[in-house]
Amino acid sequence: MAEQLTVLGTGFAVATKCYTTCFTISDGEEHFMIDTGGGSGVLTNLETLNISYNQVHHIFLSHCHTDHVMGVVWMLRMIGQSMQKGVYEGNLHLYCHKDIADGVLSMCKFMLSPRLLPLFGERIIFHCLADGMTFTINGRKTTFFDTKSHKATQYGVMVDLLNGKTITYLGDEPYNPACEQYAKGVDYLMHEALCLEAEEALYHPHKISHSTVKDAAEWAVALEVPNLILHHTEDRAMATRKARYTAEAKQYYSGNIFVPDDLEIIML
């Protein structure tokens, strides 16, 4: 069975030329969603890739920022309606910190049809995370870990793929050595990279707990990972982003470098 990372959004918080942070891990059928991006673009990109929200039964929200969380309101609206029509099978599981669960519930009470609200707790189930919690999601051992962020409580996730490999998503911040057991030697490391090192003065990544491509590449070397996936970038020149970011990462790191565009599928 071919497992894949489906890339739904690769931009930083205020990207307008691509969608914001959203991925799925799947076998092409059932999709585990990692963050939801910042709006209804999640529905657009799922539709473009011919993925139905009925194929999403598990969603992880890393932290409370708009560009990661707001898409979940749209997912809940569509999945809730699908449940009521009798089309959606089983339950939807959401994995996040308790504060995010409370916030998402408040938004849904405020914004969604009251007819959908009885589904919460019945078929829309929140799993409030603590550091190191493990679940089986679509058959894969999935471990959530606290990234010890100073900005906002934040979680990352490590997935043991069915093919024996591992993939870790570090969330929206540079690697924190406190998370070594979840990142060292994994097969695929997903690390944010806001901009090139040469554009540090333009985007100030270090002042906002973000990385340059160089930073991420150096962590990939230190962590001895064979594959580095860069995401959460500025969107100044999308047509050349892949080439520019790959070239900089190559100066520091000799493994495989992925700088995916939205709607790309990375075979794992």
By C-alpha distance, which of 19, 67, 73, 26 is closest to 263? 19
Which residue in the set 3, 35, 67, 234 belongs to the binding site for Zn ion (CB under 5 A)?
67
Q: Where are the beta strands (DSSP E) in the chain?
A: 4-9, 22-26, 31-36, 56-60, 92-96, 124-128, 134-137, 140-146, 155-160, 166-169, 188-192, 227-231, 256-258, 265-267
Q: Are 37 and 19 in contact (CB under 8 A)?
A: yes
Residue 13 engages Zn ion in binding (rule: CB under 5 A): yes
Query: Which is nearer to Zn ion, 149 or 256 (by Cβ)?
Result: 149
Q: Would you put residue 47 in left (φ > 0), alpha (ψ -120 to 50) or beta? A: alpha
Shortest Å, Cβ 173 to Zn ion: 9
Shortest Å, Cβ 21 to Zn ion: 6
Candidate segments 63-71, 102-110, 233-241, 242-250, binder of Zn ion by CB under 5 A: 63-71
> Rounded to 10 degrees, what is the CA torsion of 86, 62, 104, 131?
100
Shortest Å, Cβ 153 to Zn ion: 14
Query: What number of chain residues touch Zn ion (CB under 5 A)?
Result: 3
Which residue in the set 172, 173, 215, 248 belongs to the binding site for Zn ion (CB under 5 A)?
172
Query: Which is nearer to Zn ion, 3 or 192 (by Cβ)?
Result: 192
Shortest Å, Cβ 116 to Zn ion: 27
Query: Which is nearer to Zn ion, 98 or 151 (by Cβ)?
Result: 151
By C-alpha distance, which of 77, 81, 33 is closest to 58? 33
Write down the residue that tokens 């490999």 correspond to: 165
In the window 111-130, what residues touch Zn ion (CB under 5 A)? none
Shortest Å, Cβ 38 to Zn ion: 8
Residue 192 engages Zn ion in binding (rule: CB under 5 A): no
Candidate segments 12-20, 73-81, 97-105, 254-262, binder of Zn ion by CB under 5 A: 12-20
Candidate segments 46-54, 65-73, 115-123, 195-203, binder of Zn ion by CB under 5 A: 65-73
Q: What is the CA radius of gyration of the chain?
A: 18
Residue 222 engages Zn ion in binding (rule: CB under 5 A): no
Q: What phi and psi values does residue 10 have, to the nearest 5 degrees?
A: -125, 0
CB atoms within 10 A of CB 140: 19
Candidate segments 3-11, 168-176, 218-226, 235-243, binder of Zn ion by CB under 5 A: 168-176
Shortest Å, Cβ 172 to Zn ion: 4
CA 39 – CA 43 distance, rounded (Å) = 8
Beta bridge partners, 267, equal 4
Query: Which is nearer to Zn ion, 13 or 49 (by Cβ)?
Result: 13
Q: Which residues are near Zn ion by CB under 5 A?
A: 13, 67, 172
